[in-house]
Amino acid sequence: MTMSDDPTTDALRYGGLAGWDLEGFHTGADTEIWKRLGSHLVTVDGPEGPVSGTRFAVWAPQAKAVSVHGDFNDWSGQPMELLPGTGVWVGFVPGVGAGALYKYSVQTQWGEWLEKADPMARYAEIPPASASIVWESDYTWSDQEWLERRAEADLHAEPMSIYELHLGSWRKGKSYREVTEELVEYVTWQGYTHVELLPLSQHPYEPSWGYQVTGYFAAQSTFGNPDDLRHLIDRLHQAGIGVIMDWVPGHFPKDSWGLGRFDGSALYEHADPRQGEHRDWGTYIFNYGRNEVKSFLVSNALYWLTEFHVDGLRVDAVASMLYLDYSREEGQWVPNIYGGRENLEAIDFLRYVNSHLQKRVAGIAMIAEESTSFPGVTLPVEEGGLGFTFKWNMGWMNDTLSYIEDDPIYRQYHHNNLTFGLVYAWSEHFILPISHDEVVHGKGSMINKVPGDDWQKFATLRAYYAFMWSHPGKQLLFMGSEFGQRPEFNEAVSLEWWVSDLWGHHGLQLLLRDLNRVYRSHPALYTADSDPAGFAWIDAGDASGNTISFLRRGTGGEQLAAVINFSPVPREAMTIGLPSTGSWHEVLNTDSEIYDGTGKYGNLGQVEALAEPWNDFPARASVVVPPMGAVWFSQDPVEQNPGHESDR
């Protein structure tokens, strides 16, 4: 098929799409391909005047024929035409408007007909139905103030505490709009700076939690239409809350109507299963070396950042992308051109997507879930790194959870699990994650990881969270962990909100609220996260006592001392070194009665540091540290411990 000499005829055939519109797609340079492929409401010039309808365009270069069928043609199908030299099939259907249902029928080179959803659809039917839906947004945003402030922020020097949630079970059965005000109110009350949403791209299988995506450009329709999601994000921004969304460029499922073998050939994935399949997950792996696939994925990332005003993407399973032998036995993988195990094409892709997005959208965060010691994950691309803004600190998470899972009597033999993270704390820009992955599949909920009776469980968890919030790095906590839900995460049911009114649970919830408040009001805890000068050990060696103490310093000279006791024995006269004399205010005590602690072990609001050297510090103070508790001291002129003022 060729272009005709009659522009009117071509407009009706191709809906205004021309071959040159797709040149960037084929070179990998078009990062807004959703504007060209997929379904679009257009008006074209016909012989008798303008004609309105929908243009359908889909990439299927190996197909013998493609047709679009939907509720507008009784699902009988309308043949599409191959736009010369592009591998893209196009069809313009007059009279079709927003809300129309459709699918593509794709005939392979072997004559088999495949029924496929549109890879570029921006809306889709509620699963298990799988038709695509014609959609154009008419949403008007009201978050300009937030976007302007975001563009000026230095994320590494800003407070960042992230509340991770699975939207489908945070309040089970509620839509985007129905959950909006509750989520805004709760996150504001708790004091988190950001929410992180498990993937909200269209996915058919609820137990995948969104990590097996069939519609990369469609918001999950179970909860409403795309503009309903825009409304949720807009309201969070208006409340001063950032929105991070999980993004899954590492693999995609094999559903027959999805991306896999789209035109009968391995189009989006590698043909060789040693490169193109995750056997453990039953999914396909994207072919990062193919220009059109790069265009598809980078466009998808940019789509969520620009069309939905998302503030950052947490990139799932980065390690599986970086290594060709990931979860593979010898002989089941193909080495790179140098004989190594690194996936050079995936590495180039990650560098491309990170550098491109950060140039295009000011102030966004790109976050890697990367579980190995791959070097330079958060190093800038121009310095040879991957260019991520942050990396999840999986080593810190594994070590410290292992520590609190031990009985206190055995913790002295594993003290290194508490302290080792500071050996490499500045090798990357880290987020400390207690995510959904840590409270599923038999790992136990956070409260049930801790041995002992309920008093010990809640006290230890309060101390652990205080340790986490005072440790260099940003923080992430999965929903339900903030009030000590006992069952593991289960996407099929709602959180057990009713327990948050009970003893222990409510105190823990109030502690998280105050941790966030104190954290955000003390620059010592976040402005120098990326600088080793922002941290100093007071005492890292008290293994037998199960205690650690350290100093945090802000870029403006602010100082905060944290002392944590993971033993059941109170320290009623513990000596610590301090950098200056004078009054140090107790700004947090996890044993306060308001947190359902004993209220017996405090420092009457402050301690006095005397000019008596201790270790490498010029001053010393005697402090009271509760059993399985933590206290923070600041020399800034701050208010009394908010735990004494919180209301129930």
- The residues annotated as belonging to the active site are 316, 369
Pairing of strands 101-107, 65-70: antiparallel
- DSSP reduced 3-state for 332: coil
- Residue 420, burial from CB neighbour count under 10 angstroms (0-12, 13-18, 19+): middle
Q: How far apart are the C-alpha atoms of 442 and 326, rounded to whole Å?
A: 23
**CB neighbours of 469 closer than 8 A, spacing ≥ 6?**
161, 475, 515, 516, 518, 519, 525
Q: How far apart are the C-alpha atoms of 312 and 525, rounded to whole Å?
A: 22
Q: Which helix (H) or strand (E) holds 93?
A: strand 88-94
Contact 82, 1 (CB under 8 A): yes
Q: Which helix (H) or strand (E) holds 215?
A: strand 215-219
Q: How far apart are the C-alpha atoms of 210 and 199, rounded to whole Å?
A: 5
Write the DSSP string, 6-59: -HHHHHHHHTT--GGGGHHHHHT--S-GGGTSEEEEEEEEETTEEEEEEEEEEE
Q: How far apart are the C-alpha atoms of 569 and 72, rounded to whole Å?
A: 73
**E-state strands within 269-344:** 277-278, 283-284, 312-315
- The closest of 622, 614, 591 to 537, measured between CA atoms, is 614
Tell me the residue type at 619: A
